[in-house]
Structure 1
Amino acid sequence: MPPEPGHTPPGISGGADDGGEPAPGLLKRLRSRLYVILEAGRTSDWPSQVFDFFMVSLILANAAAFALETVVSLAAAYGPFFKIFNLVSVLIFTIEYAARLWVCVEHSEHEEMPSWRIRLQFARTWPMLIDLAVVLPFWLGIFVPLDLRFLRVFRLIRFLKLGRYSPALSSLARVLYNERHAITGALIIMGGLLLLSATVMYELEKDVQPEVFGSVPAAMWWALATLTTVGYGDVVPVTVLGKIAGGMVMIFGLGMFALPIAIVSAGFAQEIHRREFVVTWGMVARVPLFSKFDALTIARLAEHLNARVVEAGTVIARKGEEADAMYFLLSGEVQLDFPDGPIKLEDGAFFGEMALLYQRRRAATITALTRCSLLTLQSEDFARFMRGHPDVRNTVAQIAERRLTELRQRSEAEAERQEAERAQEAHPASE
Structure 2
Amino acid sequence: MSVATPRTAWFRARLDLHALFDEADTRNWPATIVRRGLIGLVLISVASIVLETVPDPAAAYGAWFLGIEDVAVAIFSIEYILRLWCAPEEPNYSGSGEWAARWAFARSLPALIDLISILPTIAGLILSAHLKIFLLLRLLRFFKLARYSPGMRSLAKVLEAERKALLASAIILLGFVILAAAAMYSAEHDAQPDKLGSIPAAMWWAIVTLTTVGYGDVYPITVVGRLVASVTMVFGLMMLALPVGIVATAFAEEIHRREFVVTWGMIARIPLFATLSASEIGEITRFLNARMVSKGTAVVRQGEDARSMFLIASGEVEVELPNGPVRLGEGHFFGERALLENSKRSATVRATETTRLLVLEASDLRVMMDRNPAIAQRIRGVAEQRQADNAKNEDAD
> TM-score range with shorter-chain normalisation?
0.7 to 0.9
- Could you say which residue in structure 2 is the equivalent of 1:411? 393
Q: Is the 8 A contact 1:38 1:100 kept in 2?
A: no
- Read off the aligned partner of 1:195 and give its amino acid letter: I
Shift of 1:161: 1.3
- Could you say which residue in structure 1 is the equivalent of 2:308? 325
Match of 1:271, SS?
helix
Shift of 1:64: 0.4
- Read off the aligned partner of 2:185 and give its amino acid letter: Y
Shift of 1:324: 2.9
- Could you say which residue in structure 1 is the equivalent of 2:231? 248
- Could you say which residue in structure 2 is the equivalent of 1:334? 317
Q: Is the 8 A contact 1:101 1:122 kept in 2?
A: no
- Read off the aligned partner of 2:312 and give its amino acid letter: L
- Could you say which residue in structure 2 is the equivalent of 1:86? 69
Shift of 1:163: 1.2
Distance verdict in 2 for CA 1:102–1:289, change over 3 Å: farther
Distance verdict in 2 for CA 1:159–1:32, change over 3 Å: closer
Q: Does 1:279 align with 2:262?
A: yes
Match of 2:296, SS?
coil
Q: After the TM superposition, which residues 307-318 of structure 1 pair with which residues of structure 2 at under 5 Å, given as runs? A: 307-318=290-301
Distance verdict in 2 for CA 1:198–1:152, change over 3 Å: closer
- Read off the aligned partner of 1:411 and give its amino acid letter: N
- Read off the aligned partner of 1:41 and give its amino acid letter: T
- The count of aligned residue pairs is 390
Distance verdict in 2 for CA 1:254–1:157, change over 3 Å: closer
Decide which structure has the larger Cα Rg and report it: 1
- Read off the aligned partner of 2:252 and give its amino acid letter: A
Distance verdict in 2 for CA 1:220–1:118, change over 3 Å: closer
- Could you say which residue in structure 2 is the equivalent of 1:39? 24
Q: Deviations over 1:146-201 (max 9, x none)?
A: 75637655432320112123333223222322332322222222211111122122
Shift of 1:368: 1.6
For residue 174 of structure 2, the aligned residue among 176, 179, 191 is 191
Match of 2:177, SS?
helix
Q: Flag structure 2 segments of 5+ consecutive residues without an equivalent.
A: none
For residue 110 of structure 2, the aligned residue among 104, 118, 127 is 127
- Read off the aligned partner of 2:362 and give its amino acid letter: S
| 2: CA distance, partners of 1:71 / 1:325 | 58
Distance verdict in 2 for CA 1:298–1:90, change over 3 Å: farther
Q: After the TM superposition, which residues 346-365 of structure 1 pair with which residues of structure 2 at under 5 Å, given as runs? A: 346-356=329-339, 362-365=345-348
Q: Deviations over 1:234-289 (max 9, x none)?
A: 33334433332233223322222222223223333333333332332233344455
Structure 1 length-normalised TM: 0.72
Q: Percent identity?
A: 42
Shift of 1:71: 3.7
- Read off the aligned partner of 1:40 and give its amino acid letter: D
Structure 2 length-normalised TM: 0.77
Across the aligned residues of Structure 1 and Structure 2, the Cα RMSD in angstroms comes to 4.4
| 1: CA distance, partners of 2:100 / 2:348 | 47
Q: After the TM superposition, which residues 291-310 of structure 1 pair with which residues of structure 2 at under 5 Å, given as runs? A: 293-310=276-293
- Could you say which residue in structure 2 is the equivalent of 1:429? none
- Could you say which residue in structure 2 is the equivalent of 1:64? 47
Match of 1:190, SS?
helix
Q: Which moved more, 1:181-190 or 1:344-353?
A: 344-353
Q: Deviations over 1:92-146 (max 9, x none)?
A: 5456663797598496x99x9699589646666433443454457767888x667
Q: Is the 8 A contact 1:31 1:103 kept in 2?
A: no
Q: Is the 8 A contact 1:18 1:114 kept in 2?
A: no
Q: Is the 8 A contact 2:308 2:362 kept in 1?
A: yes
| 2: CA distance, partners of 1:397 / 1:141 | 72
